[in-house]
Structure 1
């Protein structure tokens, strides 16, 4: 009732509105990379939470001629493990690595359930048994013997791969030296895995996820220099900060919202 009254929503990784907006990326990329609608294109997406690549899955399901949807992970390879083996095994915080592509340091992909729902014939009971019951009690499930998983790559185009910190450094350096383009660490994960799935005559689009300046320390490690800061961010540290710290108490937070929403 409170959320309805104050029209509160969250545009987080599992918000369907956000995913719908991301679907547009794939259509836009496709039309930029092709000359006719008969051509196919593959996409590589740096992935942790399976949000953006799930939008690619939706675009493909809508009829966009996508050949491969390449899931690129870092050392936190929950998704790569599934697409290679059929085993989805979430990790605890102790087994989740802190990497130089931190937005992908995720051990439980919240959007993944949406794809598995399609994979298993949109059977809600099966999904409940896997995600609500088995995953909660055992921390994993295994679809390796399920015929649906065995045909997943053919039916839905999904393949995967992973990279390490050394791979990211190498991709950042190689991309800069060959093309004069500076990429961030997450995009470097994507470039590395994309190269493993190139096919003759099929353009491969790698989704860029962030500006290099956000990860200046790793860029400097790879290239020996700091990325140039975009002009719109110059002096940002000196600008006024608008922060309000409140106790971790739902009642207090609701009261603050009610008093300050206009």
Structure 2
């Protein structure tokens, strides 16, 4: 298995190289040269593996299709460490449940940071530790978070030898719980940076430093954001696990709360691999850049002031990094066109594929449909689900539930959970008047000392922090 850049630069690369590299040197994102395919017999074999041996065993089967330069025995150990049941609130790792209206919930927030990002980050942390140890090298992680990636990455990388982490977040744009999860970590290998701006400013800084070849080489920069292919690869696994636990063979549609497009891009990969997915239901909040594209064909990037602060802050994004991966597939892997769209037109404000024949067949070929929610919609869904089923969902998951219900997609529909409600307690209280419970290990976390540096959205300031 070799990997290519969406912008066509360089030669195909091995997995272990792109794992440490993150963003491609030409600014593109890596994808497999071709997606591996699975058939019905393989799915039934995997169903038995999941049932008999658990999530880690299934994860080994899936990721083995994408990794051929790590010995199988070593890879199995990596995966088993990543998905050790003791790390998760539920030993099944990814349980599913059904609401009274027929929607399924896929529970992805049982990991250390209580968010779906743990499903990929725990594997990424183990892969980094293995590969750095094998090479005798170090790495400097520069990441950006709109809410959940930060704590998930820091908890996965905490104490890993040879790893330094610089995590950027938009100042005052995360919930108090999300801030406390990150800023309470007191470790010299982890530096939290609050950027005066929005998430897109943080993400732009990460990309700017990665585009500086000399700086990247000197400091051995790596990525934990979903620009790193390994993140998406790990997320593909839970689509298979959810389908195997929900379906006896029929199609399933997945409703996915979407900000940076990574979560649903993993669903796209699973569908291309042959998993029987009907629709990929993209759900956005008021920052509906992605919903607008799938409705109109226009990808119109918003400025910082236009990017709204909402009650689903992890989706307050207007430049979705992983969208480039999908457009690469949508346009028949035409790297020249993708390079023009994302290196030239996106910085100028966006692009339109409304008149492109590829967009005209997008829904049928790739299964995408889209919708959005408002704050009032999310409050109503949180209230409705709690009243009818006694289940409390976080505002991002409520966005997915709302869009799944309003679009009225036929057949079996599963909503991917984003986080546990405690991370967004203020919104939960507003919706149902109840403070959501929290795991005991997080009692009093907001009262702990904060370890965070504040900077302007300035690459020179970030370089200075990294250089010490």
Same fold by TM-score greater than 0.5: yes
C-alpha distance in structure 1 between counterparts of 2:428 and 2:252, whole Å: 29
Aligned to 2:424: 215
Structure 1 residue aligned with 2:226, among 1, 7, 13? 13
Offset of 1:254 from its aligned partner?
3.8
C-alpha distance in structure 2 between counterparts of 1:153 and 1:249, whole Å: 41
C-alpha distance in structure 1 between counterparts of 2:452 and 2:315, whole Å: 28
Would the aligned equivalents of 1:246 and 1:253 in 2 still touch at CA under 8 Å?
no
Offset of 1:196 from its aligned partner?
2.4
C-alpha distance in structure 2 between counterparts of 1:107 and 1:242, whole Å: 29
Aligned to 2:281: 70
Aligned to 2:271: 60
Would the aligned equivalents of 2:371 and 2:407 in 1 still touch at CA under 8 Å?
no
- Greater shift, 224-233 or 15-24, is seen at 224-233
List per-residue Cα deviations over 1:175-231 (Å, max 9, x = no partner): 00011100001001100001123444x211111111101111110111011111222
1:116 aligns with 2:248: no
C-alpha distance in structure 1 between counterparts of 2:365 and 2:315, whole Å: 26
Aligned to 2:174: none
Offset of 1:68 from its aligned partner?
0.3
- Normalising to structure 1: TM-score of the pair? 0.89
Aligned to 2:359: 149
1:88 aligns with 2:293: no
Decide whether aligned partners of structure 1 residues 148 and 216 sit closer, same or farther in structure 2, where only a CA change above 3 A counts: same
Would the aligned equivalents of 2:260 and 2:320 in 1 still touch at CA under 8 Å?
yes
Q: Which structure's residues are more often strand, by fraction?
A: 2
C-alpha distance in structure 2 between counterparts of 1:213 and 1:246, whole Å: 26
C-alpha distance in structure 2 between counterparts of 1:24 and 1:199, whole Å: 24
1:1-262 correspondence runs (5 A): 5-8=137-140, 9-36=222-249, 39-137=250-348, 139-200=349-410, 202-237=411-446, 243=451, 248=461, 250=463, 253-254=466-467
List per-residue Cα deviations over 1:110-137 (Å, max 9, x = no partner): 1101000000000001111211122223
C-alpha distance in structure 2 between counterparts of 1:58 and 1:76, whole Å: 24
Decide whether aligned partners of structure 1 residues 234 and 249 sit closer, same or farther in structure 2, where only a CA change above 3 A counts: closer
Offset of 1:48 from its aligned partner?
0.8
Aligned to 1:258: none
List per-residue Cα deviations over 1:48-99 (Å, max 9, x = no partner): 1101000000000111010000110000000000000000000001111110
CA RMSD of aligned residues (A): 2.0
- Greater shift, 226-235 or 109-118, is seen at 226-235
Mind listing any 5+ residue stretches in structure 1 that lack a counterpart? 256-262
C-alpha distance in structure 2 between counterparts of 1:225 and 1:145, whole Å: 49
Aligned to 1:260: none
Mind listing any 5+ residue stretches in structure 2 that lack a counterpart? 1-20, 22-131, 141-221, 456-460
C-alpha distance in structure 2 between counterparts of 1:130 and 1:250, whole Å: 28
